Amino acid sequence: MKRQTATLLFCLFITAVSACEHSSTQKKPEPADSPSENFILNGRIIFQSNQDGDNEIFLLTAKGLNRLTDNEWDDIFPVWSPDGKRIAYAADKEGHYDIFIMKSDGSKTKTVTSGPLEETDPGWYPGGQSIVFTRENKKFMRKEIALYRIQLQTGRIRRIIPGYGKTHAIAHVSPTGTLLAFTGKRSIGWDVAVYNTHSKKVTFLNEGGDSCRPRFSKDGKHIAYVSSAADGKGDIWIMSPDGSNKVRLTERDKTYDYFPSWSPDGLYIVFCSSAQHSHEGDWQLWVVEVSTRKAWFLFDSPGNDVFPDWN
């Protein structure tokens, strides 16, 4: 029987969707209203969807929808390479999650990591020669979840923040490669943090244990992230890489808004929205304009459409 949910997948998905919240006893919100006008998509957005029963990777453009993977296992967390020619993702083809790469049309799949450990949430380094990913490693009676980097040419893997004992995952690398933004465990909840590769210092950018899923803009001047501080559910926010200039972009108190990704020109952010906070909710793709905070509905299928990346 095909495994529907791995331990790490559950941790990362539910962490991003619900661990930013302080309470799970809130009243169920009403469904979101659809806007009266459509958004015209420029560029390419990849995302995962379980519209056919298991998670596959899809490509959305102004011309329509294309399926990039079609198999009997889960393909999840797709991200574009810096040049837009390749896609990194995770798949549980062998019963546990490994990192894979394929061409932008879904062809020529290549295995990047292999072994018994759960490895998910890939992200590219500038230049496209290395990938950061989250690894779950069981140590005696506990699990260690941390960030690792693999050199694609040599296959060499090393831990990115040696000696850092707190659980940390879901990384995104700045365009210069100097900063690594990630979701880090706090005493209560999770918050957005950055690791400076020059100073070797970890700095949390938020307080309160209610933020996660940071993504750098293409020019590195802003970070989009999720915070439940305003409405107890989840909104898309942006801030400077030092944690200043925080701005709430979505003010949709009836929905949970998560998983942001910047447009190449930095004018828009694609995100996922649902009236339910669990992975059982009907997650849709939406777009918000950074300057006006206006949101448009983009795409919805019978399944959950999540983890978009815009190229």
Q: How confident is the model at residue 80 (pLDDT cuts 50, 70, 90)?
A: very high
Domain stops at, among 110, 139, 155 = 155
- Are 138 and 167 in a shared domain? no
Distance in angstroms (rounded) separating the CA atoms of residues 169 and 123: 11
Cα–Cα distance list, 48 to 54, 139, 230 (Å): 10, 31, 28
The predicted-structure confidence for 55-65, as pLDDT tens digits, reads as follows 999 999 999 99
Question: What is the tally of structural domains in the chain?
Answer: 2
- Are 182 and 301 in a shared domain? yes
* Res. 266: pLDDT tops 90: yes
- Are 134 and 197 in a shared domain? no
The per-residue pLDDT for 53 is: 87
* Res. 44: pLDDT tops 80: yes
The candidate with the shortest Cα–Cα distance to 45, out of 232, 302, 299, is 299
- Are 308 and 166 in a shared domain? yes
- Are 219 and 308 in a shared domain? yes
Distance in angstroms (rounded) separating the CA atoms of residues 125 and 123: 7
> What element of type H or E holds 11?
helix 7-14
Structural domain span for residue 213: 161-311
Q: What is the CATH number of the domain that holds 240?
A: 2.120.10.30
Distance in angstroms (rounded) separating the CA atoms of residues 76 and 36: 31
Q: pTM of the prediction?
A: 0.90
Percentage with pLDDT > 70 across the chain:
87
Domain stops at, among 138, 155, 172 = 155
Domain stops at, among 155, 179, 206 = 155
Residues 106-135 have a mean pLDDT of 97
- Are 168 and 79 in a shared domain? no
* Res. 17: pLDDT tops 50: no
Residues 201-224 have a mean pLDDT of 97
- Are 172 and 68 in a shared domain? no
**Structural domain includes residue 34:** no
Residues 122-140 have a mean pLDDT of 94
The per-residue pLDDT for 143 is: 85
Q: How confident is the model at residue 25 (pLDDT cuts 50, 70, 90)?
A: very low
- Are 130 and 190 in a shared domain? no
**Structural domain includes residue 126:** yes
- Are 202 and 300 in a shared domain? yes
**Structural domain includes residue 181:** yes
